[in-house]
Amino acid sequence: FTKLTLDTPILIVGGAGTIGSSTALHLRRRGYTNLKLIDSYPFPSGGSGNSQSAGGSDLNKIVGYADGGVRGELAEETMRGWREDPVFREHYYEVGELALASLPSNIASLHSEYIHHKTSPSNHPDPDPLEWLSTPSDIIHRAPHLKAESIQGWQGTYRPRAGWAGAMDAIDSVGEELKRLGGVEMIFGSSGTFSRPLIDPLTSRCIGVIAKDGTRHFAERVVMATGAWTPSLVDLEGQCVSKCWIVAHLELTDEEAARYKGIPVVYNEEVGFLFEPRYVRDPSTGTSRWIIKLCDEFPGYTRYLPVRPFRPGKSGNSKPIPSEPINVSVPRSHSDHPTDTVPDEGMMRLRRVVEVMLPEFAEREFVKSYCCWCTDTDDAEWLFCEHPSCPGLFLATGDSGHSFTSLPIVGGQVADLLEGKMSPERMERLGWRPGRGDPDHTGRGGPPAKDLGDLPGWAHGDDPKEV
């Protein structure tokens, strides 16, 4: 196949999502001029794990140091991107982050990370200060809105040089920058929705994709950055398992918001996390209101359905094998099903986050709740590789629920892969590794994920089996 040159046609599928938009940005900044980006939704993508809501927004994502793995190795570069890159810096709010726990085993692992940080600063990827909080009063000193009676036994770290990013704003900013730079064709809606790849019958090489409405997009390199949808579009042989987590929005008055403005991100791995209030415009009413976004922590929910993802033929076989349906966990977009909320049991956990972390609002109803999708590998590393049986088709997925932080830099890794610059060691770690998905949730620890299909309370009006 042809060597990559600056005018090689490159197609990014899922280009308005986190990894896809970052890939487009990095390729464009490296001088590539023949880029096409397609997505079911326009910027900022309503299908992204980053938003999930058509008219509303995912307000914030934690931006902080990633512990371990390739994301950890890239932590310093990541934080530099948030602090210095003009595309990202105005969407980053460095309010600090508390990472807390109450179970002894979880406290022990936070403490060993703290000790590692303190004792080996020269080879630690995170040069920023880190403080150990060993008592409720230490914690309240950093997060004064917490109440001592709710956090007995909690310990953990405080990282002043971390915080959150305005998630949709940051992705939108990438879209604006791509428009400004030019050289990137963008197609959204059904002509931008991947249906299956186009395969050259002589070479078995991927030469583009066919969209939902039949539009053919030709390219010499196709990057699948379709997030949690990827395993239902291309058979990943179980390497990624898509799961959803749940989110709620709490509305505050001006006076209440003034009291909570500027609080650090508070994350407890046994409870959940929340952010300071944001003043958000509701496009459906044209009015603005103060919203606190919060999430609980749990093993996530799968949604297994029989589907037929693309499965390439064995080498020498020119046509994709029409596969029998296989059971894959398939996301369901809140943008397509805006009346979906969260399972009843999840709602109880979200209430607990409020009781523990915002006791003043224990009785207040949420104004919104929804599911948000990610796709997990068993080792929580990305799956960034060329498909071994379908040359020209590149996978850029396996976000493992932590990849929004990487927005400023993750596309550089995908660009390295396309350019053949990724180190063999990193290619091995991020490469095709079948049979190592995360059905039992080993990647994150904890019990196996329950299936949404077994749980009541989240599908309102629509058939819960509809994709």
Residue nearest to ligand FAD (CB): 17
Cα 130 from Cα 97, distance rounded (Å): 10
- Kindly tell me which of 136 and 458 has the beta carbon lying closer to ligand FAD: 458
Check binding of 175 to ligand FAD (CB under 6 A). no
Buried b (16+ CB within 10 A) or exposed e, 166-193: bbbbbbbbbbebbeeeeebebbbeeebb
Q: Is 366 in the site for ligand FAD (CB under 6 A)?
A: no
**37 vs 257 by CB, closer to ligand FAD:** 37
Binders of ligand FAD among residues 378 to 417 (CB under 6 A) are: 397, 399, 401-405
Dig out the tokens for 327 from the structure: 């059971």
For ligand FAD, which residue of 8, 24, 36, 50 counts as binding (CB under 6 A)? 50
CA-CA distances (angstroms) from residue 340 to 173, 332, 448?
28, 9, 23
Per CB under 6 A, does 40 bind ligand FAD?
A: yes
Under rule CB under 6 A, residue 332 binds ligand FAD: no
Interaction of residue 232 with ligand FAD, rule CB under 6 A:
no
Contact 248, 369 (CB under 8 A): yes
Closest CB 134 distance from ligand FAD, rounded Å: 25
- Give the nearest distance from C-beta 192 to ligand FAD in angstroms: 6
Q: Does 239 bind ligand FAD (CB under 6 A)?
A: no
Residue placing its CB nearer to ligand FAD in the complex, 136 or 347: 347
Stretch that binds ligand FAD, among 39-47, 355-363, 423-431, 447-455 (CB under 6 A): 39-47
Residue 458, interface with ligand FAD (CB under 6 A)?
Answer: no
Binding segment toward ligand FAD, per CB under 6 A, in 92-100, 222-230, 347-355, 441-449: 222-230
Does 173 participate in binding ligand FAD (rule CB under 6 A)?
A: no
Closer of 173 and 403 to ligand FAD (Cβ): 403
Q: Is 334 in the site for ligand FAD (CB under 6 A)?
A: no
Provide the minimum distance between the beta carbon of 45 and ligand FAD in the complex, in angstroms, as a whole number: 3
47 binds ligand FAD (CB under 6 A): yes
**CB nearer ligand FAD, residue 154 or residue 245:** 245
- Decide if residue 245 touches ligand FAD (CB under 6 A): yes
Q: Is 82 in the site for ligand FAD (CB under 6 A)?
A: no
Minimum CB separation of residue 436 from ligand FAD in Å reads: 18
Interface with ligand FAD, residue 96, by CB under 6 A: no
Among 146, 225, 240, 347, binds ligand FAD (CB under 6 A): 225
Please give the Cα distance from 413 to 410 (Å, whole number).
5
Dihedral pair phi/psi, residue 281, rounded to 5°: -85, 130
Region of 9-17, 27-35, 98-106, 197-205 interacting with ligand FAD (CB under 6 A): 9-17
CB of 71 to ligand FAD, least distance (A): 9
19 binds ligand FAD (CB under 6 A): yes
88, 229, 301, 384: residue in contact with ligand FAD (rule CB under 6 A): 229
Q: Per CB under 6 A, does 302 bind ligand FAD?
A: no
Stretch that binds ligand FAD, among 131-139, 226-234, 340-348, 451-459 (CB under 6 A): 226-234
Tell me how many residues contact ligand FAD (CB under 6 A).
39
CA 219 to chain CA centroid, nearest Å: 26
Binding site for ligand FAD (CB under 6 A): 13-14, 16-20, 38-41, 45, 47-50, 61-62, 192-194, 225-227, 229, 233, 245, 247, 295, 372-374, 397, 399, 401-405
